[in-house]
Each structure stands twice: as C-alpha cells, then as structure tokens.
Amino acid sequence: MEDADAGILLAEYEKTRAIAEATRQNLEILAASIMELEGVRDALEELKGAEAGSEVYVPLGGDSFVKARLEETDMVIQGIGADVAVKRKVGEALEFLQERIERLEGMKEEQNKKMTSAIARLEELAPAIQQLASQVKEQGR
C-alpha cells in the first residue's frame, strides 16, 4: 500500500472513530436529559393529585431536601430555555415537557443512526487497518 493511501486510510479511520466517540457522548447526554425530564413529568403527575396544604420534600441538591407545604397545586413555574421561566398550569407544563421529551427522543434516534453508520464504517476499514499494521510490523523486522 502506498504511503499516501495509508495516510488517507488512517485519517479516515481516526475521523470515524472520533465521530463514534462524540456520538456516544451525545447519546449519554441525551439519555440523561430524557431521564431527568421524565422524572419531572412524574413529579408533576403526582402534583396534579395533591391538595393545597400538602407536605412535600423539596430537593435542594446534593441529595438534600427540605420539608415544605404546597400553597398552590394547579400552577408551576417552568424553565423554557435561555434562563427564562414562565408560570403555567400543571397540564400545560406536562404538555411542554412531553414535547421536549419527544424532541430529545428524536435527536437520540438520529444519534443512534449516526453511531450505527460510524461503527459499520469502522468495521469496513478494520481489515485494511489490520493489513497496514501487519505491513508496518513486517517492515520493522
């Protein structure tokens, strides 16, 4: 194999490997975001059945909570992006969350396709890379 061809082959392999790694990281972020939104959705579903005056534990972060009483159970303040939050009825908040979850699921599906494509290309390139490694090893003897 010509040196130029070997260089092109190695560059394509490394580029494809980097794409696969970045895609794996994107998938992890998407999965975590979806899980978080599903948790919020579940909490809002529970809130729908709660009455004013009910006691709840509010997360502070770091696995710490504070006990509080609900004054209002039909409205929530929801972040909509860019550090902007709006007051919404619980039902509207649930619809918004579901739309976000569905959008993220669509992005996850696209990333899965990208990952499948990258893995397939790496598998196609593997025999040529192995052959190149054998040639380099033989030349080193």
| Domain ranges within the chain, ordered by starting residue | 3-140
Q: Report the alpha-carbon distance of residue 31 to residue 36 in Å, rounded.
A: 9
Output the pLDDT for position 3. Answer: 77
Output the pLDDT for position 13. Answer: 96
- DSSP H helices in 66-89: none
Which amino acid makes up residue 14? E
Backbone angles phi, psi at 50, to 5 degrees: -80, 155
Output the pLDDT for position 38. Answer: 97
Q: Report the alpha-carbon distance of residue 46 to residue 42 in Å, rounded.
A: 6
107 CB contacts (<8 Å, ≥6 apart)? 30
Output the pLDDT for position 138. Answer: 84
Given 1.10.760.10, 1.10.287.370, 3.40.630.30, 1.25.40.10, which CATH number is that of 3-140? 1.10.287.370
Structure tokens at 4: 């130029």
Under-50 pLDDT residues of the chain = none
Cα torsion 12, 18, 24, 29 to 10°: value is -140
Q: State pTM to two decimals.
A: 0.81
Output the pLDDT for position 9. Answer: 93
